[in-house]
Structure 1
Amino acid sequence: MATAEAATRLVGSDRVLAVLKELAGYADGATLDELTKAVGGPKPTIHRALGSLRRAAFAEQGPDGRYRLGDEYLRLAFDFHEARPDHVRVRPALETLAGRFGETTHYAVLDDREVVYRAKVDPPTGAVRLTSTVGGRNPAHATAVGKLLLARELTSLAEVKAWIGRTPLPARTANTLCTAPQLHRELDKVREQGYAVDDEENEPGINCLALPVHALSSAAPSGGVSVSALAYRTPLRVLVGRVAEVREALGPLGEPR
């Protein structure tokens, strides 16, 4: 949620976007008072921002007085998501892998210090499903996909240090690699083996195997496909032992163009 201090600096369209972003966190809708408290700023100002969103059909107010995301906003978001060629092309491989492994599969891309999930397929039946969502984010250094894609961009210790900068990397679990030397050694290993793993580094009890995807017309990976598994059910050594199976499922998408 935005802080009151940050909200006081929001003007015009910035304020409207801040309200829109906050509203997306309330699946059951939010009152004007709730949004005012969350975003900060005077209530009439937040009300005017909501008015702008309602005129664009990006927000709506129900009979209960609560504000929700509008159908037009959802239509645009889903139309844009479904039109992404990488998402459309990768999904069959995700479905194949989810069925074979009985675990959740993802397709994600790198966005600076985070990965963004563009597609997700849960196992067909009988398995615990992960809470990750399309559009959700996780720290790149703590995820298999993130490390896979960082390995191409950060090829020296100096580059890793510059990427970390003055903002310490968060330790999501006791296994998270947070220092520049640790991450540099891991990225070297990723480049050598051609895949990356997450050994319960982002979430306790969850491990992951990731391989690159070349869904677009560039030699650089457009993103990565991961198999995310409950560690007690599918140990990391089992995932790593089936790397060839993941490559086979990806087919041409797993090969540079």
Structure 2
Amino acid sequence: MSEVNPPSPAENSEERLVGADRVIAVLTELADHPLGVTLDELASTLHSSKPTVHRALATLRRAGLADMTGRGVYVLGDEYLRLAFRNLDGRPETARIQPLLEELAATCGETAHYAVLSGTDIVYRAKMDPPQGAVRLTSVIGGRNPAYRTAVGKALLSGRLTSVQEVSDWFGPFPLEQRTANTLTTPEQLLRELEMTRRRGFAVDDEENEVGVNCLALPVHLDGSEIPSGAVSISAVRFRCSLDQLVDAVPAIRETIARRLGGGAVR
């Protein structure tokens, strides 16, 4: 009988890496189910066997990053949330941005966001809803949206993309998904919008990402760099605040940003 060779260190390393990837995949999927998800549903979504997913869940539960309710449903653990919020609250940008968003939401009566660029998407780092108002937006901290159909995305890309080829290389292939009747889907359309954004110093979303919701955004420089660190936006439900009203508020918004963050933060 021939002897079976034991796995080499490289093979063991590869196996551990795959296992770690599975744990991360399960953790990421749990984040999409705030009300919880069953083992069967996780296995189906991740195209993995139930024993494999169960082992990943066991690892996460030991670390406090996942919990199981009494009805066999898995959710993110309190330790995960504690770590995430501690990290978010401890970031220097959060301490600087949050008071600004609170003031903008209060004075404009609309939702204020701070978002950063992540490839072809934008990621919301902070959000403040207005103190009053029956309609609240569905955006969440950590949530993503495609940059091409958001004001913050266009504000952050206006200084980076200056030709049709650069736009095509960044977003391709085209045409892009047309989320609403106003969504810009070709590189030529996007380039024209980015050129306008550069000239006027702010970007707009004219119901391009969500019907009935307008948005205006200004790039901000938190670290003195020529490249914006992120963008501050005001998003409004159209029937309550038109896009023209948002544009009219740009001087006041710019003054508030400069007063809160310093004159070099907005240009």
TM superposition score normalised by structure 1: 0.92
Q: Could you list the runs of 5+ residues in structure 2 that have no partner in the other structure?
A: 1-16
Match of 1:229 among 202, 226, 236: 236
Q: Measure the CA separation in 2 of the matches of 1:208 and 1:44.
A: 46
Q: Which residue of 1 aligns with 2:115?
A: 108
Matched, 1:120 2:120: no
Q: Would the aligned equivalents of 1:86 and 1:216 in 2 still touch at CA under 8 Å?
A: no
CA contact (8 A) 1:211 1:254 kept: no
Provide the rounded CA distance (Å) in 2 between the counterparts of 1:210 and 1:254: 17
Q: SS state of the match for residue 37, structure 2?
A: coil
> Is 2:264 the partner of 1:256?
yes
> In 2 relative to 1, CA 177–254 (structure 1 residues): closer, same or farther, beyond 3 Å?
farther
1:211 to 218, 223, 241: 218
The answer for unaligned runs of 5 or more in structure 1 is 1-9
| Separation in 2, partners of 1:180, 1:109 | 22
Shift in Å at residue 255 of structure 1? 4.2
Larger Rg: 2
Work out the CA distance in 1 between the residues paired with 2:173 and 2:165.
Answer: 14
1:153 aligns with 2:160: yes
Letter in 1 for 2:86: D
2:83 equivalent among 76, 82, 95? 76
Where do 4+ consecutive residues of structure 1 move more than 4 Å?
none
Taking a change above 3 Å as real, the CA distance of residues 255 and 223 of structure 1, as seen in their structure-2 partners, is farther
SS at match of 1:41: coil
Q: For residues 49 and 77 of structure 1, what CA distance do their matches in structure 2 show?
A: 20
Output one character per residue of 1:69-123: Cα deviation in whole Å (capped at 9) or x when no partner.
Answer: 1121111111111112112201111111111111111000010101100111001
Among the aligned pairs, what percent are the same residue? 58
Instruction: Using the TM superposition, name which of 58-67 and 239-248 deviates more.
Output: 58-67
| Aligned length in residues | 248
How much is the aligned-residue C-alpha RMSD, in angstroms? 1.6
Quick one: distance in 1 between partners of 2:226 and 2:125? 20
Alignment-mate amino acid for residue 60 of structure 2? L
One-letter code aligned to 2:264: P
Deviations 1:8-39 (A, max 9, x none): xx931111111111111222222211211221
Distance in 1 separating the partners of 2:179 and 2:94: 27
Look up the SS of the partner of 2:158 in the other structure.
Answer: helix
Deviation at 1:53, TM superposition (A): 0.9
Q: Aligned partners of 1:18 and 1:52: how far apart in 2?
A: 13
Alignment partner for residue 19 of structure 1, among 10, 14, 26? Answer: 26
Write the distance in 2 (CA, Å) between the matches of 1:180 and 1:167.
7
- Residue 173 of structure 1 pairs with residue 176 of structure 2: no
In structure 2, the CA distance between the partners of 1:18 and 1:163, relative to structure 1 (3 Å rule), is same
**Partner SS for 1:115:** strand
CA deviation profile, 1:173-212 (whole Å, cap 9, x unmatched): 1101110110001101011000000000010000011011
